[in-house]
Homo-oligomer: A and B are copies of this chain.
């Protein structure tokens, strides 16, 4: 087996890590000696072992001496929740490390590789980099751009409406979409809605997957309309954190102890995103409605659009969905039929 094939196994291991790694990237590691795979590992749930430690922990002392380590992301070189993986690798006697992707995190980039080389370990980088980059798009984006990755998600009728009329809750998409959306939420660190959606739908915005770190439910309520709706489930179920952004200084006293209310002098989308970036929130799933989504689009803060389309037509009285300020085309489009609905995922906008 060559380096590429073994890195594919490391990438597959990385994908096993799943959303439980939360703010840590999902990484895979494979230890190989004399053409045999000795151990495979991946990042453990947030606060637990990194992939390298997970793989090496499966070996007897000294067993890794002279081996090659395949790892999808550059080994960390600093103390975080865990001691640095570079030290562990050096101590293990590994002679060669093959890395797919350098860590985009400014604290780490290149330092891990440099430290290994200083200790006489041969390091190869860039093997399988493209496949590895697909595992952690949110993490990579966050550390490259210093703001959360934003996915707009909409449920849309064929005539481009999101509800049958203002203030109406309209079930548009089918059960398969319902299940997919609930799974999908687990892959984001924040779920964003506007106050109208909060009031009209009274949603819980929970994923279907049980996680130690659930996505933060974030409501944008510039004027503080939610002061009149303290009984919404978001403010009372205690099932996940709820943050409310507002310009209304009176709001914190009205919403009870479960909600964290952040009063900003300017509660525009860019200002909110700035605060969320500082809080370390790497990804946002913006569920609506169109007013909020249009604001993200106008601010140029959209990395992905996920549309769940149902071939119903809601008619002239329906509320139009989000539309960007100018024409948007995408290089990466994935279409998938879900029964009589369509899932359309679009990334990598190209300017036209």
Contacts and interface: CB of A to CB of B under 8 A. Distances in A.
A307 interface: yes
Interface string A241-277: 0000000000000000000000000000000000000
Contacts of A335: 311, 337, 340, 342
A344 B307 contact: no
A153 B307 CA distance: 22
A312 B335 CA distance: 12
Contacts of A158: 156, 305, 307, 309, 344, 346
A165 to B, nearest CB: 10
Nearest to A328: B313
Interface string A314-334: 111110111111111110010
Given A159-B321, A324-B159, A337-B337, A330 B316 contact: no
Given A158-B307, A307-B158, A337-B335, A316 B312 contact: no
B311 A346 contact: yes
Contacts of A156: 158, 160
Contacts of A329: 312-313
B330 A311 contact: yes
A247 to B, nearest CB: 26
A329 to B, nearest CB: 5
Interface in A41-60: none
A147 to B, nearest CB: 22
Residue from the set A316, A317, A344 with the largest chain B CB neighbour count within 10 Å? A316
B340 A312 contact: no
B325 A315 contact: yes
Chain A's interface size range is 35 or more
A288 to B, nearest CB: 14
Contacts of A116: none
A315 B323 contact: yes
A94 interface: no
A85 interface: no
A156 B160 CA distance: 10
A337 B341 CA distance: 12
5 contacts: A158-B346, A160-B321, A160-B323, A312-B329, A320-B320
Interface of A: 156, 158-161, 164, 305, 307, 309, 311-318, 320-330, 333, 335, 337, 340, 342, 344, 346
Given A307-B311, A313-B323, 17 more contacts: A156-B158, A158-B307, A158-B346, A159-B160, A159-B323, A159-B324, A160-B320, A161-B323, A312-B330, A313-B324, A315-B324, A315-B326, A316-B323, A316-B324, A318-B327, A320-B320, A335-B342
